[in-house]
Structure 1
Amino acid sequence: MTVTLNPALDLTVQAGGWQRGEVNAAQGAQQDAGGKGVNVAAILADWGAPVAATGLLGRDNAAPFETLFRDKGVSDEFVRVPGATRVGLKIVDPTRGDTTDLNLPGLTVSARALAHLQATLRSQPAGVEVVALCGSLPPGVHASFYAEEVARLREQGRFVALDTSGEALRAALTADTLPQLIKPNIHELETALGHPLTTDAEVLAAARDLIRRGAELVAVSQGERGALLVTAREAVFARPPRVTVQSTVGAGDAMVAGLISAHLDGLNLESAARRATSFSAGSITRLGAHLPPRADLDALAAQVQVEPAQPLTA
């Protein structure tokens, strides 16, 4: 199950060579139901994993999300709330190979809606092994929400993955109970820890500290450079193959989905790194949260360079 408190309708505009402060011509646009947990669920569904998605969804524009869930075969357990889900603007520049994000804060959440969502999480059957808490927190939700839910979910015996940022990540990383899987990007981890990580050794040390405090896998993504993946016994760096980029939106979400699928399949760290990196690389060749065909993913996974990081000591 994935949890998205602050989903978004992503309006992706393709504008090659656009200039800030100028009138620009766009070559195309499309709108997709998005948000980090929504994207993770969509990618897992593409892989063939059974998945449910929950969170808070505005009633006024729920149709695109409902269509996505129906088309992908994702079980829709979202709590409907009054109002419209926010829109996120993504400006893709194919000539530079980059994406600019403009994200609105989202709907203000009532105590009643939040309690309904928490009841949904508490009532999940034992067969729901993994719960992924994803994305930003909307107005009205305290920064400690994820940290508190991690503790409750782990008490239930769930495997908890966390992909968030800002104060929500800081609160989760300083809590007594950490998620089993933590996937920040390098900038999110620096912000949460309150200091820069300027060398590979410093990134590794930060990840190792989270492992010592109770996490089982820490994956620190670093854009096109790759990702560091650390467990209690191993640490590897996975470097992605070169691909033709359509949009980098959702690349981190695809990596989370890959790591979750690897956990469900019991893969070792190297195989998990290859799968997660192939998911991420494959997703950026598409607009929206979609995976390429399985054969293409297998080819990408074979091209991922997985190198041992500094050996870990007890």
Structure 2
Amino acid sequence: MIVTLTPNPGLDRTVEIERLRRGEVNRALGGRVDPGGKGVNVSRALAAGGIATVAVLPSGGPEGAQLSALLAPIGVQVVQVPIAGSLRSNITVVEPDGTTTKLNESGPELSTDEVRAIERAVVGAAGNAAWVVGAGSLPRGVDAGFYAELVSVLRDTGDHRARVCIDGSGLPLARAVDAGPDLIKPNTEELAELVGRPLRRLGDVVDAAADVRKRGVDTVLVSLGADGALLAGPGEVLHGWAPPVRVRSTVGAGDAMLAGFLAGGGRGRSALVAALAYGTAAVGLPGSAMPRPSDLDLDVVVVTDELDLDRALGGTPT
């Protein structure tokens, strides 16, 4: 079983249009509303593959009620932590060529008591979990050390210790790295910010992942957008990719990749293959729809440990 925590969830409304025209009326060609938030997306993708998952999230206002209602029919068990504020709503505008414009609200401000209640809910849900995933931005009122504290608390909890993955960015990710999570999943930009230097070639990413692992992270999974993904773990560095597909939406593709990696065992070549199959399938689906097993094609994924370290990176990070 895999537990996810989304500190700042919401509703993701996706609108498909012919072309975004600023200052004009834009007629929608289609639209959908999905449960939103990185951890929520990971749970959705896992549930679509028949993997038991629990999504821990704050819940408040009509958006919170709608979010829970959307998750219930798809097999995601939800642990709601009541908050006084309302969850956010995000809008994504998608054009036929795959160009994506996102308008994300900041979300509610949480009180100290609400933050502590969320921590207790995660620890309570983690008792029988193989993994706990903390993912996404932190809402107002939550200290940048929240993920780091979560890693430390889960490490010291009971005889059974779930492995911990953090998928964040900026200072919350940097502080979590120093707490020593088992896995992080940055994209190229997030990893570059973490190590404080640009990453223009695959060799730069390999060096950056090695630096992060020296700080106590067991495994680093880096999404490279159109260039695939890099996996740096104990005794191995692997690069994988899949053939290009028609992009309908990149929203949630990185979350699907992480779900695939965990569904594939959370370690090694087979997990990287699953990660790339999930991520590739996700970009071919509308909105933030998560792939089902019938959408996956593991046979087209290529993984190698013979890295072209001089390969320039040019894909859009997911």
TM-score between the two structures when normalised by the length of structure 1: 0.91
- Cα distance in 2 between the residues matched to 1:97 and 1:296: 19
| 1:149 partner letter | L
Give per-residue Cα distances to partners, 1:32-57, cap 9 Å, x unaligned.
11100110001000011111000212
Q: Which residue of 2 aligns with 1:274?
A: 273
> Offset of 1:26 from its aligned partner?
2.4
Give per-residue Cα distances to partners, 1:56-100, cap 9 Å, x unaligned.
122332232222221111111021212321111111111x22211
Give per-residue Cα distances to partners, 1:126-161, cap 9 Å, x unaligned.
311210000000000011100111111122322001
2:207 alignment partner, one of 205, 208, 231 = 205
List aligned pairs for 1:138-287, cutoff 5 A: 138-156=139-157, 157-173=161-177, 175=178, 177-263=179-265, 269-287=268-286
Q: Which residue of 1 aligns with 2:316?
A: none
Q: Which residue of 2 aligns with 1:91?
A: 93
TM-score between the two structures when normalised by the length of structure 2: 0.89
Q: Which residue of 2 aligns with 1:108?
A: 109
Bigger mean CA deviation after superposition, 15-24 or 223-232: 15-24
- Cα distance in 2 between the residues matched to 1:115 and 1:293: 35
1:302 alignment partner, one of 292, 299, 303 = 299
Give the 3-state SS of the residue equivalent to 1:140 in structure 2. Answer: coil
Give per-residue Cα distances to partners, 1:86-124, cap 9 Å, x unaligned.
111111111x22211121111000111111111112223
- 1:2 and 2:4 aligned: yes
- Cα distance in 2 between the residues matched to 1:207 and 1:242: 25
- Cα distance in 1 between the residues matched to 2:237 and 2:154: 27
- Cα distance in 2 between the residues matched to 1:75 and 1:292: 18
Q: Which residue of 1 aligns with 2:138?
A: 137
> Offset of 1:229 from its aligned partner?
0.9
Bigger mean CA deviation after superposition, 46-55 or 162-171: 162-171
> Offset of 1:294 from its aligned partner?
2.2
- Cα distance in 2 between the residues matched to 1:21 and 1:33: 29
Bigger mean CA deviation after superposition, 140-149 or 81-90: 81-90
2:79 alignment partner, one of 61, 64, 77 = 77
2:61 alignment partner, one of 53, 56, 59 = 59
> Offset of 1:288 from its aligned partner?
4.4
Going from structure 1 to structure 2, the CA distance change for 1:275 and 1:116 (only over 3 Å counts) comes to: same
Give the 3-state SS of the residue equivalent to 2:32 in structure 1. Answer: strand
> Offset of 1:310 from its aligned partner?
4.4
Going from structure 1 to structure 2, the CA distance change for 1:230 and 1:124 (only over 3 Å counts) comes to: same
- Cα distance in 1 between the residues matched to 2:106 and 2:75: 28
Gaps of 5+ in 1: none
- Cα distance in 2 between the residues matched to 1:220 and 1:32: 25
> Offset of 1:197 from its aligned partner?
1.5
Gaps of 5+ in 2: 309-318
Give the 3-state SS of the residue equivalent to 2:128 in structure 1. Answer: coil
Give per-residue Cα distances to partners, 1:201-239, cap 9 Å, x unaligned.
111011112223322221111112211111121111111
Give the 3-state SS of the residue equivalent to 1:123 in structure 2. Answer: helix
- Cα distance in 2 between the residues matched to 1:245 and 1:128: 34
Give the 3-state SS of the residue equivalent to 2:91 in structure 1. Answer: strand
Going from structure 1 to structure 2, the CA distance change for 1:72 and 1:251 (only over 3 Å counts) comes to: same
> Offset of 1:17 from its aligned partner?
2.3
| 1:123 partner letter | G
Give the 3-state SS of the residue equivalent to 1:143 in structure 2. Answer: coil
| 1:55 partner letter | L
Kindly report the root-mean-square deviation, in angstroms, between the aligned alpha carbons of the 2 structures: 2.0
| 2:139 partner letter | P
- Cα distance in 2 between the residues matched to 1:253 and 1:138: 19
| 1:105 partner letter | S
- Cα distance in 1 between the residues matched to 2:109 and 2:32: 26
